[in-house]
Structure 1
Amino acid sequence: MESKEMKKTMGAAVALSMVVGCVIGSGVFFKPQAIYTATGGAPGIGILSWIIGGLITLCAGLTVAEIAVVIPKTGGMMVYLEEVFGEKVGYLTGWMQCVLFYPGTAAALAVAFGNQLSEILGHPGWAVGIAIVDIIVVIIINEIGSKAAGLVQTLATIGKVIPLIFIAIFAFIKGSGTNPILTPMVGPGLSTGTVLGSVLIAILFAYEGWINVTPIVGEMKNPGKDLPKAFAGGILIIMAIYLLVNVAYLWVLPADQLKDCSSPAVAVAEVIFGPVGGKIIAAGILISVFGALNGFILSGSRVAYTLGVQKMIPGYKAFGKLNASDVPGNGVLLIGALACIYALTGQFNLLTDLATFTGWVFYVMTFIAVIILRRTKPDIERVYKVPLYPIVPGIAIVGGGFVLINQLFMAGSGPRMVALAGIGITLIGLPIYLIMTRKKAE
């Protein structure tokens, strides 16, 4: 079983659907509440930040595509950072992804799913139970094989875009259009810089998932051609949808009302279509969140598999092999089980902030790795090079760095504690690394 290799079955369509499908999950539906709460009910910085966050993400994707094509191995970011910064950093990347980023984000998505479905059913107390059942269903789908998971991803991507388009079209037709869109920038007494940083951490979660396609590069037919297309095309599509939909929200309800709505999309839909229409849109949200959850468990299991193959995770014999469907079944179970544990908190914003901050620490390191690799290995074959180098990587580094610094030093004690918790959980991987390295040597 350990000698098996995963088959190259995925093309550009699956890669692009993974980018779009993993990103459009819950952020565009639920994060406007957190965004307009941070702005004090003012719309300006909120709308502007959807553009800024999209540009940072676009530069990030175009930058990561270069190193992903140069090192087309299953495992994604941990493999790239190991190549450039050494085994210890690579291991901490994989550890963070396995125990925090992928299961934490999957749990947040499942919590969003549970909250939404429990409201539709009229039983809010069922939210956590529904979230765990949702994760279990996704685990079963991924155990069947990558084709089944890829098909779910493609269908969910199509299904989630339809309700967003309906909201956008009918909001402009039926909405009053009298609410301010770009002014004021922030509420009275608030610092624009601090608010921007707080808003961007929420918006970067809404764009989160773009990197999920990199762990499956080893299963792509032509990564040099298809991966940059998937990043550029997918992120630009998402930017357009996000900007259009968020302007549509404001076309119907003002920002100071959206900050009090736990599900702004449903609130807007109820104004446009009535209670029945609101429930239909809520069903579309469930499809969207389900597809994103599928993508995170699909990608996260590949990272666990890579750590297992490297004999650098407890129980590596189990995690480093493929099941009868040629997928890392035990890796799927690991990410899913941890997601179930995190989902017990029932805290959507806490989980998203924790995963987003910690993920971006390593994203920024990956952007820097592209620059280092250009200098240390200038002659290596690059079938794709990041355009407008070094401007594009520079934008990704500065944008990501600003968000991280804001969370640690400017955004207040709550966000700072979340950031420190993410760093602490990541650093727990150091003693695990030393133990596994010693065992591996023996």
Structure 2
Amino acid sequence: MEHGLEKKYGLMTAIAMVIGIVIGSGVFFKAEKVLTATGGNLPQGILAWIIGGIIMIVCAYVFATLATRYEKVNGVVDYAEAALGGKYAYFIGWFMAAIYYPTLTSVLAWVSARYTCVLLGWDIVGAEAMAISGFYLVGSFALNALSPKLAGKFQVSTTMIKIVPLALMAVVGIIVGLGNGILVSNFTSGVIANVTTEYPLFTAVVATAFAYEGWIIATSINAELKDAKKNLPRALTFGTMFVALIYILYYTGLAGAVSNSVMMQGGETGAKLAFSTVFSNMGGTVLFVFVVISCLGTLNGLMMGCTRGFYSLAARDMGPEPKVFKCIDVNTNMPTNSSILGLLLSGVWLLYFFGSNLTPAPWFGPFSFDSSELPIVTIYAMYIPIFIMMMVKEKSLNFFKRFLMPSLAICACVFMVIAAFYAHSKAVFYYLIIFIVIMAFGMIITPKKK
């Protein structure tokens, strides 16, 4: 069963993976949180989306530069290995395989189920939502494990579909809002509700981090991408800039659809309410079906990364049982055992997310944290040593690529870490305890390389 991964994806799949993973759920899921965090202050909310977008674009540009120089198994792990050696590469690879991929994949399964329940008028935290979450999780796994080429085509098609509701709301919402005066009113109304945090902008930016996250997962198909040294940088650069622009316009379009107070009171139905207001009940329902498909496309992209997490470690003879997890199925050209373990961990983190965030009384007491945001901030912290060593080692690069952009990326990552401490307070420390335990376990079980 063991042989190399084939070059089966082209530039369009890579671009679709960047756009498709990032766009899909967070912009719908976190738009209301950004508005609530800022007390309905629309300009401050837009500023949060702009800051989050700049952080994403700067970091993606630096990784795009690295992508032109290194190509192996899994982009970000390759870059960590080139910058700081095998131990740090394993450290990041284990984090992504055991925490990052499965936490985001599990949250996306629930978000997809959440909007399905909103569409059907069901409870978003009840038995129906969790049953649908499990179905979506297993269905996405089956698609990727049994037919990776079909999963790639699904990624491209859902990317095209998910742009439709965002673009329509961005254009029509702004036009309607300017015509009826709602957009101007929302821009000038200022804070209209009590702000629950001392630093609302920090809380809002951390919320946008979930909406903007996912672009780095596109590097997980590095070994399967045709002409990766050219196509991956193009995909990262174009994809992230497009996402930032469409998010800012969409958020502005929402403000033209309904007043800030109505949007904040709508909760999980806020997006559907905005679409129905602008496009009528029937049109709003049809477009909201596109929203659900959009979320499923994001889930598929995350699962593409999740199924390859432990393979990227095993390919380096690291992690648990490398001989088991480096096996590639001869028929599907997929790392089957790695896929199965990725699905299992996604199920575990889905159970954790439900118990810590969706139940009236959190199951895990003080160890209940938001698994949709804190792992994302962690990966930004892990980028910092890579950027520092890039400035030290990459002597053939010009000043702009070697020093200026990595320095800006470091500043962006530090900002995200500080913002997370202000946004999540004590929960950060309990999350770090769990993080340390999982990472220590990963360090213990990896075999010593001869």
Q: Report if TM-score (shorter chain) is over 0.5.
A: yes
Q: Match for residue 293 of structure 1?
A: 299
Q: Counterparts of 2:386 and 2:118 in 1: how far apart (Å)?
A: 45
Q: CA distance change for structure 1 residues 188 and 174 in 2, over 3 Å: closer, same or farther?
A: closer
1:78 aligns with 2:77: yes
Q: Counterparts of 2:115 and 2:122 in 1: how far apart (Å)?
A: 10
1:436 aligns with 2:445: yes
1:164 aligns with 2:166: yes
In the alignment, residue 265 of structure 1 is paired with which amino acid?
A: A
Q: Match for residue 21 of structure 1?
A: 20
Q: Aligned pair count? A: 432
Alignment of 1:181-200 (within 5 A): 181-183=186-188, 194-200=199-205
1:203 deviates by: 0.6
Is the 1:103–1:335 contact (alpha carbons within 8 Å) kept by the matching residues of 2?
yes
Q: Counterparts of 1:68 and 1:229 in 2: how far apart (Å)?
A: 10
Q: Counterparts of 2:399 and 2:296 in 1: how far apart (Å)?
A: 32
Q: Which gives a bigger RCO, structure 1 or 2 (Cα 8 Å, sep 6+)?
A: 1
Q: CA distance change for structure 1 residues 310 and 417 in 2, over 3 Å: closer, same or farther?
A: farther
Is the 1:153–1:294 contact (alpha carbons within 8 Å) kept by the matching residues of 2?
yes
1:41 deviates by: 1.8
1:420 deviates by: 2.9
Q: Match for residue 414 of structure 2?
A: 401
Q: Counterparts of 1:21 and 1:266 in 2: how far apart (Å)?
A: 21
TM-score between the two structures when normalised by the length of structure 2: 0.87
1:65 aligns with 2:56: no
Deviates more, 1:217-226 or 1:98-107: 217-226
Alignment of 1:311-330 (within 5 A): 311-323=317-329, 324-330=331-337
Q: Counterparts of 1:211 and 1:278 in 2: how far apart (Å)?
A: 32
Is the 1:64–1:367 contact (alpha carbons within 8 Å) kept by the matching residues of 2?
no
1:355 deviates by: 4.5
Task: Pick one of 414, 436, 439 that aligns with 1:427.
Answer: 436
Secondary structure of 2:307's counterpart equals: helix
1:88 deviates by: 3.3
Q: Counterparts of 1:139 and 1:386 in 2: how far apart (Å)?
A: 43
1:146 aligns with 2:163: no
Q: Match for residue 366 of structure 1?
A: 383
Q: CA distance change for structure 1 residues 193 and 210 in 2, over 3 Å: closer, same or farther?
A: farther
Unmatched 5+ stretches in structure 1: none
1:277 deviates by: 2.5
Q: Match for residue 274 of structure 1?
A: 280
Cα distance per residue 1:70-102 (max 9 Å; x no partner): 221212323322332343332221222122211
Q: CA distance change for structure 1 residues 53 and 156 in 2, over 3 Å: closer, same or farther?
A: same
Secondary structure of 1:70's counterpart equals: coil
Q: Match for residue 248 of structure 1?
A: 253
Q: Counterparts of 2:100 and 2:228 in 1: how far apart (Å)?
A: 24
Q: Match for residue 343 of structure 2?
A: 336
Q: CA distance change for structure 1 residues 193 and 121 in 2, over 3 Å: closer, same or farther?
A: closer
Q: CA distance change for structure 1 residues 58 and 349 in 2, over 3 Å: closer, same or farther?
A: farther
Q: Counterparts of 1:386 and 1:110 in 2: how far apart (Å)?
A: 43
- Percent identical across equivalent pairs? 29
Q: CA distance change for structure 1 residues 254 and 177 in 2, over 3 Å: closer, same or farther?
A: same
Cα distance per residue 1:279-326 (max 9 Å; x no partner): 212211111111111111101222210122334333433322112311
Task: Pick one of 224, 230, 254 that aligns with 2:229.
Answer: 224
Q: Match for residue 362 of structure 2?
A: none
Is the 1:78–1:91 contact (alpha carbons within 8 Å) kept by the matching residues of 2?
yes
Is the 1:265–1:281 contact (alpha carbons within 8 Å) kept by the matching residues of 2?
no
Secondary structure of 1:314's counterpart equals: coil
Task: Pick one of 346, 352, 365 that aligns with 2:354.
Answer: 346
Deviates more, 1:208-217 or 1:393-402: 393-402
Q: Counterparts of 2:176 and 2:432 in 1: how far apart (Å)?
A: 47
Q: Match for residue 364 of structure 2?
A: none
